Structure 1
Amino acid sequence: MKRAVCCGLGLACLVVSARAASLEVEVDGIEPGSGTVYVALCQGGLAESTCRSGKDAPADGRSQRVLFKGIEPGVYAVVAYQDINGNGRIDRTGLGLPLEPYGVSRGGGRRARPDFATASFPLDEPGAAVRVRLARTLPSR
């Protein structure tokens, strides 16, 4: 009996890992110079509390690839920004407009405030890819 339970748990682990997906995010539009590109994987919204999985990469070159592994199938969105001044956050105006280059998946947020419904995509394949283009809302100061 004990052996059957162990085998059953082992098979359950294989099923869970087989369902897990990977997502490659290509970030384009990186401004030359210094800084770090931050990429977050969001589920259910674009607020910091719903974007729990994040990665960063140096802002060297015009594009950067970031890989997320072991993601459960579901509906996700990607948010990315370039932290040019290295303070670890996206700088904003007094009205909340981003001062540094940012982007969201599916091109959402270019003409209006980004929202999850516009930026979201289903992730159910073992290996998927999405592209995020960084741009500024306002000219650089």
Structure 2
Amino acid sequence: MVPLLACQSLQAGDLLIEVEGLQDQANLYLALVPADQQDWQPSLRELHSAETPLRLSDLPPGRYAVQVFQDNNGNGQLDLSPRGIPLEPVGFSGNPSLFGGKPTPGDSLFEHGTTDSVISVRLIHPRKKKERVAPREAPGRPLK
């Protein structure tokens, strides 16, 4: 059994993840899941550095998906609004649009072979809340 495992590790390349759009030195969290999985569980792994590329060593060949987020407030989780909109920078392999909500791993899949692979993940930053300004009364016209 040991020779079989040794052969598998010889065929496993590293995965390098270049993260674009880092804001500060907040820790990054990463989830690597099989692309045919329905959700992003298990929980994310904390990476104590914001330096990229991130390296996952000896990853067996396969179809995977990656989610990365930057934990700006240090609570160890991706904060979401009540409507499920990320409040911290988040990105996915393949850089899918987040317009329709959080993508599934299948929407973010990439193929990793027996040699090293390099992928790029672009962090999408939450929109700043717009300051509401009270309407001003036009000269000669009262507000309704």
Greater fraction strand = 1
Match of 1:70 in 2: 58
Sort the Cα spacing of 1:23 and 1:133 in 2 relative to 1 into closer, same or farther, 3 A: same
| TM-score, length-scaled by structure 2 | 0.76
2:128 aligned to 114, 136, 139, which one?
A: 139
Instruction: Report the AA paired with residue 47 of structure 2.
Output: D
Q: CA deviation at 1:70?
A: 1.9
* Percent identity (aligned): 27
Larger Rg: 2
Q: Hey, which bits of structure 1, 4+ residues long, moved more than 6 A?
A: none
- For residues 122 and 33 of structure 2, the distance between their equivalents in structure 1, rounded to whole angstroms, comes to 17
1:79 aligned to 67, 78, 82, which one?
A: 67
Match of 1:39 in 2: 30
Q: CA deviation at 1:140?
A: 6.2
Query: What RMSD in Å do the two structures reach over aligned CA positions?
Result: 2.3
Greater fraction helix = 1
Match of 1:15 in 2: 7
Number of corresponding residues: 128
Unaligned runs of 5+ in 1: 1-8
Q: CA deviation at 1:46?
A: 6.2
